[in-house]
Amino acid sequence: MEIISDVWVNWFEGEENGYNVCEFYEWRKHDFIELLDQVPLVKIEKSLFDYIENDLQDLPEELLKDIRNKSVICKNNQREIIEYCFIATDGERTLVSDTLGYKIPVRKSRLIPRQDQMILEKAGNMETVMYPMPLITAKKEYHPLSLSPELMVGLTRKERQMKQLLFMALDQLHTTGSLEEIRYWYTEWFPTKYQESRRINFDQAWDALVGGMKQGWSEKHSDICERMIKGQSYFEKLWEMEHGPKVQ
């Protein structure tokens, strides 16, 4: 283990999927960016790195013991200890995490390029610590509110956010929508299939919508998302965070 000084972090909180922990080139001015005075660096196995990056489950007790109270941040000229905060690397990737005093990686951040490169160089001379993997009772499942990483490949931060918003709206439609409503959106997405839309049932329409919308991101996705969320204040607020006040 090494102690790294002056670490810039951009915290993304409560993210169970690594694609939502944005790389440096996608950082924004209003993000939660901090400078940590010091943070311990640990080199871990690839499987544990994946577990930390793409889940929100308990970290190994031995890891928590090793990093406890080794991180420091200076606030208002006062040094504050961070109980469980660390930089993890598997020799190829890096990730900073802070548990906020819990046992799960609540906050996660990428590193700025210069520090990322420095960590990878240091990792070449470090031994991998073989922490026992926590018992995983069930394989992680992806669903409309937690999309598979494969469906986010190649998308920008804005596109990923909008795609998640679209699928949140779809999930709500599945929960509260009527047959006529979901047939309407089916026809909007598949405009040449109006006659078919009159015959399909709710589940068939839902499955077709999800199947049709899950790949990529386009103007068609954006347009139907904007119209689907109209009149829903929470969804409109999420839209405005990416586009500005546009929904009428």
Flag whether the pTM goes above 0.95: no
Q: Tell me, what's the pLDDT at 161?
A: 95
User: Domain boundary residue among 123, 138, 160?
Assistant: 123
Reduced to 3 states, what is the DSSP secondary structure of residue 38? strand
Q: Tell me, what's the pLDDT at 247?
A: 43
220 plus 119 within the same structural domain: no
29 plus 95 within the same structural domain: yes
Structural domain includes residue 134? no
234 plus 183 within the same structural domain: yes
8 plus 114 within the same structural domain: yes
36 plus 95 within the same structural domain: yes
Domain with 181 in it: 149-243
**Strands annotated E in 143-244:** none
Structural domain includes residue 138? no
Q: Tell me, what's the pLDDT at 246?
A: 53
13 plus 119 within the same structural domain: yes
Residues in the chain, pLDDT under 70: 137, 244-248
158 plus 101 within the same structural domain: no
Structural domain includes residue 144? no
| Nearest partner of 93 among 149, 141, 137, 50, judged by Cα | 50
CA distances from 156 to 165, 182, 218, 236, 239 (A): 14, 28, 12, 20, 15
Q: Tell me, what's the pLDDT at 140?
A: 84
117 plus 153 within the same structural domain: no
CA distance 208 to 224: 15
Q: Tell me, what's the pLDDT at 215?
A: 93
